[in-house]
Structure 1
């Protein structure tokens, strides 16, 4: 029997369950920018653009998406390893892309670690094109 996958809008009330997912999927990447206060600020500036997948009440995937008024951005997409290859990532991306389109965005960008071959293949398969003409720079403000 196939279990029902529910895709829900990510609201701050869902933070604890989504954060547990992030800790499991991205154990070395949950810095202070993932604090409840930072995520609440992000979600309030990008209402209805982020989503999580749930099966039998368990959060199994999430996408953190937003926009700056000109471009859309996928900040994180993650699905628990045991739930991958079940179309959950695509379902989450479809919802995020729809929300970004509805917000008036014509283009969406995302960032992938250079050594994340599986993510690169996934994004390529759903229509994203890798760019080679840009380098990303970061600076911590705190």
Structure 2
């Protein structure tokens, strides 16, 4: 396993990204992760999301966007056999640079409560868990 490259995540990366997400323990997926929805997210947040590649294989992803006030990260993952090489850290740092350039000074992310590996990673990146807020969700019926 040699070197890797980082580049912008493109709509045509969807199938490979979805396959990686589906193989990642602790990754929460839903109907919001359809090709159409991910395409809309990328269109609304151009140049913010990234992939890592080794050869022609996608080995890491991060979705990043913002609402003009706060940034948000989704679906950071690195394929198991490429972990512990700084790839996840590099993907996050690429997003932080883009958010800062857009004038966004704070970002949030979600980690499932049983994903201790994910929580440990984000804490190592300087993110802090919040005990003072709760997340509420609602599906909007069609």
TM-score class normalised by the smaller sequence: over 0.9
TM-score (norm. length: structure 2):
0.93
Contact 2:48 2:64 in 1 (8 A): yes
Q: Which runs of 5+ in 1 are unaligned?
A: none
CA 70–28 in structure 1, closer or farther in 2 if over 3 Å, else same:
closer
* Per-residue deviation, residues 14-33 of structure 1 (Å, max 9, x unmatched): 11211111121158733221
Residue 125 of structure 2 is aligned to residue 122 of structure 1: no
Residue 72 of structure 2 is aligned to residue 73 of structure 1: yes
Instruction: Give the secondary-structure state (helix, strand or coil) at the position aligned to 2:58.
Output: strand
Taking the aligned partners of 1:16 and 1:26, their CA distance within structure 2 comes to 18
Structure 2 counterparts to residues 93-108 of structure 1, below 5 A: 93-108=92-107
Taking the aligned partners of 1:44 and 1:26, their CA distance within structure 2 comes to 27
Residue 76 of structure 2 is aligned to residue 61 of structure 1: no
Taking the aligned partners of 2:27 and 2:73, their CA distance within structure 1 comes to 19
Q: Which runs of 5+ in 2 are unaligned?
A: none
* Per-residue deviation, residues 104-132 of structure 1 (Å, max 9, x unmatched): 10001111111211111111111111111
Taking the aligned partners of 1:133 and 1:101, their CA distance within structure 2 comes to 25
